[in-house]
């Protein structure tokens, strides 16, 4: 499965739900990538990306799509790790993808 296919199957809404992240009515979110008392991450469902406005954020001014987001959550040094996994295992369904991206308990 190529990255554009994964993005078609995986919506930002699904990913945020998966991580129990609920944007407020203005589409703002406490950023999951640093201490964030006031919501600095903005969710743009139309383009399927999030962007953090904090200067302390490790995403450093980069807008994240679903693949970037999952990678950042897993603290992968390499980007596109999830996408590569999907390609290797020919994953087509969101539920199967969730099995793959569920963090190991170790
Ligand atoms: Zn942030």
- CA–centroid distance, 75 to ligand 1, in Å, is 14
The 10s digit of each residue's pLDDT in 4-58 is: 666 777 788 888 887 889 999 999 999 988 899 999 999 999 999 999 999 989 8
Q: Which two tokens stand for residue 52?
A: 């953090």
Whether 16 is covered by a domain: the verdict is: yes
**Contact indicator for 101, 43 with CB cutoff of 8 Å:** no
pLDDT band at 82 (very low <50, low <70, confident <90, very high): low
- Ranges of H-type helices in 1-106: 3-9, 12-18, 66-73, 81-89, 94-101
Q: Would you tell me the crossing angle of helices 94-101 and 81-89 to the nearest 10 degrees?
A: 120
pLDDT band at 69 (very low <50, low <70, confident <90, very high): confident
In the chain, how many domains are there?
1
Q: What is the distance between the alpha carbons of residues 83 and 9, in angstroms, rounded to a whole number?
A: 12
CATH of the domain at 44: 3.90.580
pLDDT number for residue 104? 52
In a domain? residue 29 = yes
Rounded to the nearest whole angstrom, what is the distance from the C-alpha of residue 90 to the centroid of ligand 1?
32
CB atoms within 10 A of CB 26: 9
In this structure, is residue 106 part of a structural domain? no
* Cα 51 to averaged position of ligand 1 atoms, centre (Å): 8
Cα(45) to ligand 1 centroid in Å equals 17
Per the confidence metrics, is the pTM higher than 0.75?
no
């Amino acid at each position: 499965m190529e990255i554009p296919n994964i993005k078609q199957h995986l919506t930002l809404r699904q990913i945020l739900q998966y991580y129990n992240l609920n944007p407020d009515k203005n589409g703002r979110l406490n950023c999951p990538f640093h201490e964030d008392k006031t919501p600095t991450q903005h969710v743009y469902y139309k383009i399927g990306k999030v962007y953090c406005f904090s200067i302390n954020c490790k995403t450093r001014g980069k807008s994240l799509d679903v693949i970037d987001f999952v990678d950042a959550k897993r603290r992968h040094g390499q980007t596109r790790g999830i996408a590569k996994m999907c390609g290797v295992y020919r994953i087509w369904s969101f539920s199967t993808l969730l099995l793959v991206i569920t963090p190991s308990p170790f």
